[in-house]
Amino acid sequence: MSHRGCDGQGRGEDLFQRLTGQEDGLAGLWNFDDPARPGRDATPNHFDAQLRFNARLAPAAIPSAEELGNPTLIVGRVTDSKGELLTEAMVRFEPEGQPAKEASVNDRSEFRMLLQPTDRPVSVSAKSFTPERRSLGLFLTNRVFKPGESRLDLKLREFASLSGSVVAFDQTPLRAVVVQALSQRPPLELMTNGLLGEYFRLKSRPERFPDLADGAVPDATNRVSKIQFPKGRGWLPFKGVGENEFFYGRWTGTFTLDQSLRIDFELIAGPGVRLLIDGKTAIDLGVIGSGSQKGETVTLEAGEHRVKIDALRRTPIYYVMLNWQLEGFAPSPFPLAKPFKAAVLTDDKREFRFGELPPRLTASVLKSRANLFTRSSVPPSAESRLPRCQWTRVGPPTSRCSGGRKHGILNSIFAPFLWVSKRCV
């Protein structure tokens, strides 16, 4: 342990060298070289330790640099555009081909993130709030970090996926206008008759998932519309099941994507539940225990995908809930896909602002008294999260409309009883 500042060098040069305890900058060194006092601190500081709870020492070779690899450590500070600290900020790193990792900053607005070494690009995002609770954000793409320590300071600015003002044909600002954001049709085809449930009675308490013979006949079957069986309800279709009766259940089905899609899965269950996609385990909560919760992000290619959920009834309290979230949709019980919905009102300045919106949305502006209505697609944009739009007039020949992207703000002119549409790319 070193008390020197972490400047990217520190004790890195000594990582694979045998230390004596007399090196400059060492706060403590526990090398376990003294059999009588294995926790003795070899430095003059004498931060001696004790082995407790039957802890034992075992000889082992110091691994080489090639065996350990050199991870990527990213450190930095998050501030607003004025340089003020943002102590509520969250930072998210999404390495291509690896699970995303998140970290919150400390009271000095600093963060530290440890990533597996990769030469593939990483997306970085951060978000926080102003004292007035307005959203601040930042989104970076195609960042490549070398093994070792890298510094990345983030400066957040006021963020809106979609913002603008609503005015009448005579340029009069309109207040109390409802602006809605809705999901488009999901880019997938779900199983039309739900998931097939099959339930098998077991002779003894299972310690692992059973290997059933081909053609094994279940004790019961049914169809379920969603995997949502909370505590106190259970998933067995039987009544009067005893406390010492054990079962294995599985649900199978398919869904088809019309494009490659990243999907977030969350499994809340216990004990003994796992999720398999196309025959590969995506989430495994294990068999032993009282239950747990785990999420995983999976990228699936276009085409049909097979889903299987295995569950064991080992104790009187058993449950399973599987949720997923597709890009542009709200978290939903699998295999349903609930649309994302958000609505805001124009403020005193006749302006509207949405915070971070997922892609594949439709934005609508409604004002009932004036019969105002406009709709536009909001596509994903890695760099700015703001659409570039081309407006098309669909209304009386005498009507005029305009709009576009200016300084990251969508400005729109709407006439009463006028339908205005725009194509976003």
pLDDT(8) > 50: no
Q: What is the CATH number of domain 162-185+342-424?
A: 2.60.40
Residue-range domain boundaries for the chain: 1-65, 70-158, 162-185+342-424, 189-333
Q: What is the CATH number of domain 70-158?
A: 2.60.40.1120
Chain centre distance of CA 324:
11
Minimum mean pLDDT range among 85-94, 108-117, 235-244, 367-376: 367-376
Residue-by-residue DSSP string for 155-194: EEEE--SEEEEEE-TTS-B--S-EEEEEE---SEEE-TT-
d(CA 199, CA 218): 5
Sheet holding 162-167, edge to edge: 351-354, 162-167, 409-413, 403-406
pLDDT, residue 120, reads 87
Q: Is 263 exposed, middle or buried (0-12, 13-18, 19+ CB in 10 A)?
A: buried
Higher local confidence (pLDDT), 70 or 400: 70
Contact between residue 387 and residue 379 where contact means Cβ atoms under 8 Å apart: yes
Note the pLDDT tens digit of each residue in 230-281: 987 789 888 777 778 899 999 999 988 888 888 889 999 987 999 999 999 9
d(CA 151, CA 139): 17
Q: Check if 70-158 and 162-185+342-424 are the same fold.
A: yes
With 0.75 as the threshold, say if the pTM is over it.
no
pLDDT(119) > 90: no
Note the pLDDT tens digit of each residue in 281-296: 999 998 877 778 888 8
Q: Does domain 189-333 have CATH number 3.40.50.300?
A: no
